[in-house]
Amino acid sequence: MGKYNYKNINDISIRINSYDLMYKDKDWKAIKYHNEYALWYLLTGSLNIAMDKESYVLNEGDIFFSYPNKIFTCSSGEEGFSLRSIHFNVYFENSVHLLEVFNMSGFYPDKILSKEAVLFKELFKNRFNDENISKVALKGYILIILSKIFDYYFEEMSENELLLNFSEYDYNKFQVLFEYIYKNINKKISVQELALLVNLSTNYFSAFFKKISGMSVQNFILRVKMIKAKELLKINKYPIKEVSYLLGYNDQNAFSKAFKRYHKVSPSEIA
């Protein structure tokens, strides 16, 4: 597949919170849910995680990366564990980003950050509202981590038979598709319409889309709407009624219900 040019990676705004989590009890278990992106970096011990019918065992230096609104279960290993947790929101500025296109949630081995591990441990040590660390530096390091994940993800994905012939040209075609979704987010968009746009049959397009994004076309469109809604409410301070109109909802109540199902909070709690 080769390396992609992540030219859109700087066109984002990032809000970051980080903290440490430690459990010495080998019987510790929990169900986790976050409405932000989450990076867990295991400092000591081992941690078992199950998500999307996949199971992972994290050891020292390993990374677990989760998308917003992912539900997963975790339990400590025999000796417990400690980890550094980084949660962040990403807002894209008039561009389509690989985080929106591909489902990269999952386990990443310690070799991903082998050279950056020391800086990782220090830079993100309880940095919530820490004015001593430049926000530009924090954002820059998040981007470094994401670029490492991108490279590893595409190397692994290139071994998938369905994606062996997925070239950079193909990716560019799909980027046109995603940009079309963004530009027409206030309209009803059909699967047939999108399949025609990239010159694929409806059935193949639906299967391929789910394979690369981890969700159906309509769920992806809903996700785009809900991420944009949160941005408009929280960052741009648009009123709820106007946001619902901008995202193609004729009924504000229908928008509010969809928003709460997705983000687990009502629009009024965000605005």
Taking the C-alpha atoms of residue 66 and residue 201, their distance in angstroms, rounded to an integer, is: 31
pLDDT of residue 32: 86
pLDDT of residue 129: 46
- CA atoms within a 13 Å half-sphere pointing along the CA-CB vector of 22: 5
- The answer on pLDDT for 197 being more than 50 is yes
Per cent of the chain over pLDDT 70 is 77
Inter-residue long-range contacts of 233-241, CB under 8 Å, 24+ positions, other chains counted: 233/267, 233/270, 233/271, 234/270, 234/271, 235/13, 235/91, 237/271, 239/271, 240/267, 240/268, 240/271
Distances (CA, A) of 107 to 48, 55, 136, 142: 11, 9, 27, 17
Amino acid code (one letter) for 18: S
Q: Dihedrals φ, ψ of 156, to 5°?
A: -70, -40
Residue located via tokens 């500025």: 93
Taking the C-alpha atoms of residue 61 and residue 270, their distance in angstroms, rounded to an integer, is: 35
Do residues 20 and 125 make contact, with C-beta atoms less than 8 angstroms apart? yes
- For 52-74, write each residue's pLDDT tens digit: 888 999 999 999 999 887 889 99
> For the chain, which domains are there?
12-157 (2.60.120.280), 168-270 (1.10.10.60)
**What's the length of the chain?**
271
146-157 per-residue burial string, b: 16 or more CB within 10 A, e: under 16: bebbbebbbeeb
pTM above 0.75, yes or no: no
Taking the C-alpha atoms of residue 62 and residue 16, their distance in angstroms, rounded to an integer, is: 20
pLDDT of residue 2: 35
- The answer on pLDDT for 243 being more than 90 is yes
- The answer on pLDDT for 143 being more than 60 is yes
Amino acid code (one letter) for 94: N
Taking the C-alpha atoms of residue 193 and residue 202, their distance in angstroms, rounded to an integer, is: 9
Question: How confident is residue 169, by pLDDT bands cut at 50, 70 and 90?
Answer: low
- For 224-233, write each residue's pLDDT tens digit: 888 888 878 8
Degrees, nearest 5: CA angle 225-230-233 = 120
Taking the C-alpha atoms of residue 152 and residue 107, their distance in angstroms, rounded to an integer, is: 11
Question: How confident is residue 132, by pLDDT bands cut at 50, 70 and 90?
Answer: low
- Residue 225: count other Cβ atoms within 10 Å of its Cβ: 23
Per cent of the chain over pLDDT 90 is 22
